[in-house]
Amino acid sequence: DGGITQSPKYLFRKEGQNVTLSCEQNLNHDAMYWYRQDPGQGLRLIYYSQIVNDFQKGDIAEGYSVSREKKESFPLTVTSAQKNPTAFYLCASSILTTLATNEKLFFGSGTQLSVL
Amino acid sequence: QQPVQSPQAVILREGEDAVINCSSSKALYSVHWYRQKHGEAPVFLMILLKGGEQKGHDKISASFNEKKQQSSLYLTASQLSYSGTYFCGTEGAGGTSYGKLTFGQGTILTVHP
């Protein structure tokens, strides 16, 4: 079955530690996204990538880093510089076409990150 | 900037109708609507593109007024399964906005029997 896989489902971070959230898709989608979800604030865009080896900052990129070495993978690292990392993190992907700049997003099941 | 959704929450009885609004301060190319159940990933409902259109399937439909930079989601004859948080996502019209989808804060819809 095609889809997006996020792992782990739950993750705990210690003070000063970097942690990496995994996102893999087998939909052959060009674009991938990372969103952070906090209660009452909706989904806020962290980073997005439309092509391998290229990515752009979203609205809340500070304290996060990403890489896009392969089309199917877009891992997110939450660095120690992110002082309030506790949140639900969602990865998504979509096709990009020349007719519409955005097709619908397919979301993974999310990772809940908590600080110890 | 995030689009603004209203209302923040809606409580309905089965069979009642609801409207959720989404407003942006910038020119838009497209508007997406998604529904999220608690603890689950958001699920796609529909996309409306620049050109001003209305779409719908079953008893859920939406409109997009590009001049006003607004979209509305209409839920008619609500069912218990409609409960969840509804998000609009907007894509700006302009080079740097290409492919960047920004979501509103969400509207919590609760349908009671």
Give the pLDDT confidence of A39-97 residue by residue, as tens digits.
877 899 999 998 899 999 999 999 999 999 999 999 999 999 898 999 999 999 998 76
CB A31 within 8 A of CB A95: yes
pLDDT of residue A53: 95
Q: How many helices (H) and strands (E) does chain A have?
A: 0, 11
CB A32 within 8 A of CB A68: yes
**pLDDT at residue A101 is higher than 70:** no
pLDDT of residue B38: 87
**pLDDT at residue A98 is higher than 70:** no
Provide, as residue numbers in chain B, all residues whose Cβ is less than 8 Å from the Cβ of A100: 30, 47, 49
Whether A42 and B106 lie within 8 Å, measured CB to CB? yes
- Minimal C-alpha gap between A78 and chain B (Å): 20
Confidence band, pLDDT 50/70/90 cuts, at residue B53? low
Task: Round to whole Å and give the CA distance between B62 and B47.
Answer: 9
CB B14 within 8 A of CB B113: yes
Token duo for residue A29? 């989608």
Query: Could you tell me how many CB contacts below 8 A there are between chain A and chain B?
Result: 67
CA A11 → CA A18, A59, A64, A113, A116, distances in Å?
Answer: 11, 23, 16, 5, 10
Beta bridge partners of A88: A37, A112
